[in-house]
Amino acid sequence: MNPVGAHMSVAGGPSRAFQRLEAVGGECLQIFVKPNVQWAAADLSLEEVHRFQEEQARTGVNPVVAHASYLLNLASPDAGLRRRSILTLALEIVRSARLAIPYLILHPGSHQESSLAVGIRRIASGLDQALKRAAVPEVGLLLETTAGAGTQIGHRPEHLRDILGHSRNQARLGICLDTSHVFAAGFDISREEEGEKFLEELDRQVGLGRLRVVHANDSRTPLGSRADRHTHIGEGYLGRGVFARLLHDPRLAGRPFILETPKGPAGDQSRDAVNIRTLKELRR
């Protein structure tokens, strides 16, 4: 069975995310292990690590994954930004390890005025450098499929294949499939036949065995928009059918389906609660 859950705020400390997830009926969790839009991060105290472990044990939430900061760009031609991205990624790997989080998800990066091929090599090298600097074996890195805006890398399966191929740490790397991003990148997974073609291509280029997490997001923008705009399950251009098919695909059995949909109320409930309930209904 595929657990379903959501990305939750860590305001007040990472352990608070479990209470927030519990309130909306989630079974798996994604968090940031440091502020996502600033480079600095407060120390992660031993007391908070213990609270995190206790809350995970109390709630039974599994798995917990982390998402890296949006500031990172391992493909950047700016040497200073790239170095800072590598150091920050290493820090996030260490913080994930302290919280016993097995996977850290990141957007591969944007090559900007350099070429795609150069950007791919920079990403692979940056991943290797961050893993070496972090020096912890427990955490795997998941490259997220992107929408392809601007010079983003990762919106085609062959991009992910080539990053893996250039890395010296292939055993530590996997992928995260974002449904909204894939659709925005031009793959019409809303249609069963086209969705099957995409999964077959992903399997051929990368291997579905490397797919560890699904970001379950409907798309607010149409096919091929290249825009990263998530919306609620069944309220966008994807519709409910694609999520039902993915949740029942035996090749994806056991993978966590994690929402990154907009927060807010839905009548007397929260939007997260409604979306999680919808995914559970589709799972049944």
Alpha-carbon distance of 193 to 174, in angstroms, equals: 25
Percentage with pLDDT > 90 across the chain? 96
**CATH architecture of the domain with range 4-283:** Alpha-Beta Barrel (3.20)
How far apart, in Å, are the Cα atoms of 242 and each of 41, 239, 282?
38, 7, 10
Residue 8, strand partner residues: none
Reported as a single tens digit per residue, the pLDDT across 77-103 is 999 999 999 999 999 999 999 999 999
C-alpha closest to that of 109 among 70, 158, 79: 70
Q: Are 75 and 153 in contact (CB under 8 A)?
A: yes
The mean pLDDT of 256-267, rounded to a whole number, is 95
Strands (E), 68-210: 103-106, 109-110, 140-144, 152-153, 173-178
Task: Tell me the per-residue pLDDT of 216-249, one tens digit each, with 9 for 90 and over.
Answer: 999 999 999 999 999 999 999 999 999 999 999 9
Q: Which residues contact 174 (CB under 8 A, 6 or more apart)?
A: 103, 140, 141, 142, 143, 210, 211, 212
pTM value? 0.97
Q: Check whether 267 has a pLDDT greater than 90.
A: no
Predicted confidence (pLDDT) per residue in 175-210, tens digit: 999 999 999 999 999 999 999 999 999 999 999 999
Decide: helix, strand or coil at residue 29: strand
